[in-house]
Amino acid sequence: MAREIHTVGVVGLGTMGAGIVEVFARNGVDVVAVEITDAALDRGRDNLTGSTDRAVARGKLAPADRDALLSRVTFAVGLDALREVDLVVEAVPERLDIKRRLFADLDRTCKPATILATNTSSLSVTEIAAATGRPEQVVGVHFFNPAPVMRLVEVIRTVVTAPEVVADVEALCARLGKTGVTVDDRAGFIVNALLLTYLNQAAGMLESGHVGREDLDTAMRLGGGLPMGPLALLDLIGLDTAYEILETMYRRGGRDRRHAPVPLLRQMVTAGWLGRKSGRGFYSYEKPGSAVVVPDGWAPSPAPAGAAAQVATVGVVGSGEPAERLAELFTGAGYDVVAVTGELDRLAGADLVVTAGPGDPDADRALFTALDGICKPGAVLAASTTRLPVIDLAMATGRPADVLGLHFLDPAPDRALVEIVHTVRTAPTTTATARAVCERLGRAAVVCADRAGYVVDALLLPYLNDAVRMLEASYSTADDIDHAMRLGCGYPVGPFELLDRIGLDVALATLRDLYRQSREPGLAPAPLLEQLVTAGRGFRVHPGD
């Protein structure tokens, strides 16, 4: 029988704490909300009233319910007000020294029965618990941002957490309408171990000039099917918080280089660009705390701009479904389409030629050499399905300035995207022509450099591989990991559902390309993935298998 929790203390009312207060108070729990100074307390109170006022304005909360919610919250500076609460959840900055000091103080202040919980994203709950005289009553309760919206709570038990304390917290999560997933104390738990690794790689892509800011976010929203782009999400999380989480994951998670925060993050944090909360991060916001993005001087793309050439006739080379879909797409947009498999001579008058296949490196190269001999000067030659770097195809022709990649992604009808892949030899006018064509096709287009996986696959596949490694390590189950990513990040599908959908063989081939190019040990395909492909199986047995 779980112990009923009537009153809760929340310490730290920043990005997460204010939302956690709201979650409790909304569900009939009395809350003592604590900050470190009067000014921080006022800010925390504003965070809470701002959020509840927005909920009322959007019709999600009745005014009377907002008033009742706010009446359940008492605000205080200092820990004394927490003496009699049944549970404390802390949401102070992600630093072990701060949290250990706080827990030692809470241990001295709170009544003996109080459960002490940390909202840490990556720090060792065990080390935090060891700062108290009641480690069996210490647990991790990891809410997600924004806490009132996201349904997941990761409950972290240490080797000494009492099972009844875990049961009490799980019952409380259910009362809050949250889904609790209980896991052991490992850096990043489920969600951040997968999410922050991906976000760090995305920031690295921007830093290296592989892709521009808006294009990167657009690519992952549309092509990756994610609710937010990675840079916008980093701004929401807070760059300082993300930085600290990554630092800890690096230290605790086997010193994986992919967890080492990219230098750009450190620079931005030092500059005070913390994301939404400071009004400036990867994007600029109307004011601190606002979600409204305002224009700034950030260059839209690292690719040089050029003038687009006219395109009237489009050649589509290849057989099978990808080529047929391309021909339909161009015809639908009003282009004269010449679709060919063998008789390449018919492409002599085309302004743009898009190849879909053959897919074999030597055959792809030979095809581009043949197109070079046939197509008129200035025609743009684009590869849509090659596994080769685009530069290999460009150098198989005598006109590398006219060659680029056009990678069409259709994760869902309303999310169609084209990655325009430019090489070091692609002329700005070729890229501009491709952009103009995509616009006429009604497709969002992003411009990126010529690297394995372009943008979407290069970020998505390592994340999926990390999920397989997590399963391999028996840290959690495929169902719980899928569940956690859907509820914690708002992803439409979990990583194992997505892998089954993409096809494990396709995912494995892309991962091998990524690994071959980067030699990054963390990108080596997970053995379990290799084995399932060899066995011809997916992660789940689907009807009809």
523: left (phi over 0), alpha (psi -120 to 50) or beta: alpha
Task: Give me Rg for the CA atoms of the chain.
Answer: 26
Q: Is 321 a catalytic residue?
A: no
Shortest distance (Å) from residue 19 CB to ligand NAD: 8
Name residues contacting ligand NAD, limited to 211-270 (CB under 6 A).
Answer: 237-238, 241, 245
Shortest distance (Å) from residue 79 CB to ligand NAD: 8
Q: Which is nearer to ligand NAD, 119 or 218 (CB)?
A: 119
Shortest distance (Å) from residue 253 CB to ligand NAD: 15
**Which of 32, 60, 29 is CA-nearest to residue 171?**
29
Residue from 5, 7, 10, 12 in contact with ligand NAD (CB under 6 A): 12
Shortest distance (Å) from residue 241 CB to ligand NAD: 4
Q: Is 27 a catalytic residue?
A: no
Contact letters for ligand NAD, residues 34-73 (x by CB under 6 A)? xxx---x---------------------------------
Q: Which is nearer to ligand NAD, 169 or 317 (CB)?
A: 169
Q: Which residues pair with 496 in a beta bridge?
A: none
Q: Which is nearer to ligand NAD, 17 or 389 (CB)?
A: 17
Q: Which is nearer to ligand NAD, 14 or 315 (CB)?
A: 14
Phi/psi at 356 (nearest 5 deg)?
A: -125, 90
Could you say whether residue 28 binds ligand NAD (CB under 6 A)? no
Residue nearest to ligand NAD (CB): 14
For 159, half-sphere exposure in the C-beta direction (CA atoms, 13 angstrom radius) is: 4
> CA 525, 181, 236: angle at the middle one, nearest 5?
75
Task: Output the 3-class SS for 240-278.
Answer: HHHHHHHHHHHHHCCCCHHHCCCHHHHHHHHCCCCEHHH
Residue from 31, 48, 55, 91 in contact with ligand NAD (CB under 6 A): 91
Q: Where are the beta strands (DSSP E) in 373-527?
A: 380-383, 403-409, 417-422, 444-449
Q: Which is nearer to ligand NAD, 169 or 508 (CB)?
A: 169
- Alpha helix segments (H runs only) across 158-227: 163-175, 191-207, 213-218
Shortest distance (Å) from residue 101 CB to ligand NAD: 7
Helix axes 191-207 and 456-472, enclosed angle (nearest 10): 150
Shortest distance (Å) from residue 492 CB to ligand NAD: 20
Task: Spot the catalytic one: 90, 142, 278, 465.
Answer: 142
Shortest distance (Å) from residue 153 CB to ligand NAD: 10
Shortest distance (Å) from residue 15 CB to ligand NAD: 4
Residue from 31, 61, 82, 102 in contact with ligand NAD (CB under 6 A): 102
- CA separation for the pair 354, 150 (Å, rounded): 42
Task: Spot the catalytic one: 22, 35, 154, 214.
Answer: 154
Q: Is 154 a catalytic residue?
A: yes
Q: To which residue do tokens 């019952």 refer?
A: 171
DSSP state of 533: H
**Which of 250, 135, 96 is CA-nearest to residue 188?**
250
Residue from 50, 63, 93, 272 in contact with ligand NAD (CB under 6 A): 93
DSSP state of 497: H
Task: Spot the catalytic one: 47, 122, 192, 200.
Answer: 192
**Which of 177, 134, 132, 180 is CA-nearest to residue 156?**
180
Name residues contacting ligand NAD, limited to 272-311 (CB under 6 A).
Answer: 277
Q: Which residues pair with 76 in a beta bridge?
A: 34
Region near ligand NAD per CB under 6 A, out of 13-21, 80-88, 215-223, 469-477: 13-21
**Which of 281, 301, 304, 303 is CA-nearest to residue 291?**
281
Beta strand 403-409 with 380-383 is: parallel
Region near ligand NAD per CB under 6 A, out of 87-95, 165-173, 218-226, 409-417: 87-95
Shortest distance (Å) from residue 16 CB to ligand NAD: 3
CB 168 within 8 A of CB 5: yes
Task: Spot the catalytic one: 47, 119, 121, 384.
Answer: 121
**Which of 432, 362, 369 is CA-nearest to residue 395?**
369
- CA separation for the pair 403, 111 (Å, rounded): 71
Residue from 13, 183, 249, 459 in contact with ligand NAD (CB under 6 A): 13
**Which of 22, 12, 46, 29 is CA-nearest to residue 149?**
22
Instruction: Locate 378 and state its tokens.
Output: 């200035």
Could you say whether residue 120 binds ligand NAD (CB under 6 A)? yes
Q: What element of type H or E holds 173?
A: helix 163-175
Name residues contacting ligand NAD, limited to 127-166 (CB under 6 A).
Answer: 142-145
Could you say whether residue 349 binds ligand NAD (CB under 6 A)? no
- CA separation for the pair 352, 234 (Å, rounded): 38
- CA separation for the pair 148, 220 (Å, rounded): 24
Instruction: Locate 520 and state its tokens.
Output: 């990054």
Q: Which is nearer to ligand NAD, 21 or 526 (CB)?
A: 21
Q: Which is nearer to ligand NAD, 189 or 408 (CB)?
A: 189
Instruction: Locate 505 and state its tokens.
Output: 């063989």
Name residues contacting ligand NAD, limited to 400-459 (CB under 6 A).
Answer: none
Shortest distance (Å) from residue 467 CB to ligand NAD: 19
- CA separation for the pair 309, 430 (Å, rounded): 8
Could you say whether residue 121 binds ligand NAD (CB under 6 A)? yes
Residue from 87, 88, 92, 437 in contact with ligand NAD (CB under 6 A): 92
Q: Which is nearer to ligand NAD, 98 or 264 (CB)?
A: 98
Q: Which is nearer to ligand NAD, 142 or 210 (CB)?
A: 142
Size of the site for ligand NAD (CB under 6 A): 29
| Residues that are catalytic | 121, 142, 154, 192
Residues near ligand NAD, by CB under 6 A: 11-17, 34-36, 40, 91-94, 98, 102, 119-121, 142-145, 237-238, 241, 245, 277
